[in-house]
Homo-oligomer: A and B are copies of this chain.
C-alpha cells in the first residue's frame, strides 16, 4: 500500500494541473450552446482514463454521452465495485458574481475555484488518481473497478437510467461508491448513509366559473383562496407535525446510535439562523434541526397562486386557487402511498361550493443503507485514516434519484463518501474544491479498495 500512498504524495502538483485542465472544459449539460463542449469533455475523460491505464469507452445516448472505464481484465473472481461520477456541470450564471471566471480555474487559499470543481469533477477525479497510483506503481488491486461517469446529472440522468438497464450484466457489482455529497468540515470526514425521497402534488381549488366582483357577489359564495388556505392550514399542527392520517405510519424510527452520532455534528443555531436569514427556527417538536432537515419527513408548500397578483388591488372573488406541494419522505415511506394519503385527506377537507383538482407530480424513493454494516464500517475506518479525524455519519435531506436506481437495477447499495465542504458554493457562483479534500480524497480512495474488498468477501 505504501508505494500507492507515496505516488499520490509525489504527484500532487501534477494532479492539480490535470484537474485544472479538466475544469477548463465548459461542460454545461443544460445549455445547448455547450453541446460541443460536453462531447469534448467526454472525450477528454476517455483519453485521460486510457492514459492512466484504464480501458475506457464513450457511449452515445439520446443526449449526452456516458463514459465507462474499467481496470484491466485479470483472471479470477474478485469483488466488483462501481465508482459513479458526472463530468457535466451546472450553468455558471450569474457570471458577474464570480471573482475569477468560472472556466479559468484559479488557486486561492488552498482551493481551486471553478464551475464543477467540487460538483463533481474534483470529487471523481480523486478516485481516478487513486486507481492511477495502483496501476502506475504495479500494486495489485484487490478488486475490479468500473467507473461510470455521466454527462446528464445536472439535467436528470435520464440516459444513465436507460443505460443501467441495457448494461445491467456488465455493471452488476458489490457496491457503488459515490463522492457527490458533503462533509461538515475538514475535521469531520463523513459517510452519508441515507437520503430523503420526494413526492410532489399540485392542487387546484375551483369555485365560480370566472373571477367575481367582490362587491356584487362577495359574501354569498365560497372564496377558493380562503377554502385552500383553510385546507392547507390543517395539514400541519402547532407542533410541526404533518396532520395527514397515516403519514408517519411507515417511518423507520431513528436509532439511538444514529441520534448519538448526529449530536457529534458541528452545529450552531446562531450561525444556522444567520445563514438562512431568519429570526427563529421552526420544525417538528422532539427533533433537532439536523434531524428535522435530514431524517424526518416534511410537507412543504412550494408555491401559491390565486386571483390578482399585480400592483394595487382588484376587488374580486378569484375563480380558483392553486398550491404546489412536495413532501420529503424518509425510509420506509413510498411516494405513491404518501400522495394517496394526502389526496384522501384533501378530499375530506374540501368544503362545499368548490371543486378539487389534484395532479400528481414526480416521486423519488428515500434511500437508506445501514451505517453499522461491514461496508460502512470499512468506509468509516478509511475516512479516519485518510483525514486523521473521527468520521461522522450523515443523512442528507435531498434526493439523488440515481442512487435508488443503482439499488433497483443493479441490486447494489451505495457508499456516499462526499468531499464537498458546506461553503463550496455548489450550483452558485465561486464554486470551489478544497485541495486538502482532493488529496485526502485520493488517499481515502486508495485505502478504500482493500478495506472494501475485505468487507465484501
Binding site for B on A (CB under 8 A): 196, 198, 200, 202, 207-210, 212-223, 225-226, 228-230, 232-236, 272, 276-284, 289-290, 292-293, 296-298, 300-309, 312-318, 321-324, 326, 328, 351-355, 361-362, 396-399
Name 18 interchain pairs, CB-CB below 8 A, sorted by A: A207-B278, A208-B276, A213-B398, A215-B328, A218-B293, A219-B284, A220-B289, A220-B290, A222-B281, A228-B304, A230-B236, A279-B355, A300-B317, A302-B314, A302-B316, A303-B318, A307-B324, A309-B322
Residues of B within 8 A of A313 (CB): 200, 202, 302, 324, 326, 361-362
**Docked-complex contact B233 and A215, CB < 8 angstroms:** no
Residues of B within 8 A of A304 (CB): 225, 228-229, 304-307, 309, 321
Nearest Cβ on chain B to A354's Cβ, whole angstroms: 8
Residues of B within 8 A of A317 (CB): 300, 302
CA distance A70 to B352 in the complex (A): 54
CA distance A231 to B154 in the complex (A): 37
Nearest Cβ on chain B to A247's Cβ, whole angstroms: 13
Please give the count of copies of this chain that the complex contains. 2
**Docked-complex contact A303 and B230, CB < 8 angstroms:** no
Closest 8 pairs between A and B when the two form their complex, measured CB to CB: A209-B277, A215-B398, A233-B233, A303-B307, A225-B301, A222-B282, A304-B306, A229-B232
**Docked-complex contact A277 and B210, CB < 8 angstroms:** yes
Q: Given A198-B215, A278-B207, A313-B202, A305 and B305 touching (CB < 8 A)?
A: yes
Residues of B within 8 A of A214 (CB): 298, 300, 302, 326, 328
CA distance A352 to B279 in the complex (A): 8
**Docked-complex contact A276 and B217, CB < 8 angstroms:** yes
Residues of B within 8 A of A212 (CB): 276
**Docked-complex contact A282 and B221, CB < 8 angstroms:** yes
Q: Given A215-B198, A397-B217, A326 and B318 touching (CB < 8 A)?
A: no
Nearest Cβ on chain B to A267's Cβ, whole angstroms: 11
**Docked-complex contact B221 and A398, CB < 8 angstroms:** no
Nearest Cβ on chain B to A240's Cβ, whole angstroms: 8
Residues of B within 8 A of A302 (CB): 214, 225, 307-308, 313-318
CA distance A386 to B379 in the complex (A): 96
Residues of B within 8 A of A293 (CB): 216-220
**Docked-complex contact A326 and B321, CB < 8 angstroms:** no
CA distance A280 to B353 in the complex (A): 4
Residues of B within 8 A of A225 (CB): 232, 301-304, 323
In chain B, what residue has the closest Cβ to A195? B215
Residues of B within 8 A of A398 (CB): 213, 215-216
Residues of B within 8 A of A196 (CB): 215
| Residue of A232, A276, A279, A300 with most chain B CB atoms under a 10 A cut-off | A300
Given B210, B215, B228, B280, which contacts A352 in the complex, CB threshold below 8 Å? B280
Residues of B within 8 A of A233 (CB): 226, 229-230, 232-234
**Docked-complex contact A397 and B216, CB < 8 angstroms:** yes
Residues of B within 8 A of A314 (CB): 302-303, 324
**Docked-complex contact B397 and A353, CB < 8 angstroms:** no
Nearest Cβ on chain B to A374's Cβ, whole angstroms: 29
CA distance A50 to B351 in the complex (A): 59
**Docked-complex contact A279 and B216, CB < 8 angstroms:** no
Nearest Cβ on chain B to A198's Cβ, whole angstroms: 7
Nearest Cβ on chain B to A343's Cβ, whole angstroms: 16
Residues of B within 8 A of A361 (CB): 312-313
Nearest Cβ on chain B to A350's Cβ, whole angstroms: 11
In chain B, what residue has the closest Cβ to A306? B304
Residues of B within 8 A of A218 (CB): 293, 298, 300, 328, 397
Residues of B within 8 A of A399 (CB): 215
Residues of B within 8 A of A202 (CB): 313
Q: Given A214-B302, A302-B315, A280 and B328 touching (CB < 8 A)?
A: no
Given B220, B277, B300, which contacts A281 in the complex, CB threshold below 8 Å? B220
Nearest Cβ on chain B to A187's Cβ, whole angstroms: 21
| Residue of A218, A236, A397 with most chain B CB atoms under a 10 A cut-off | A218
**Docked-complex contact A220 and B292, CB < 8 angstroms:** yes
Nearest Cβ on chain B to A206's Cβ, whole angstroms: 9
In chain B, what residue has the closest Cβ to A316? B302
Nearest Cβ on chain B to A42's Cβ, whole angstroms: 28
CA distance A282 to B234 in the complex (A): 20
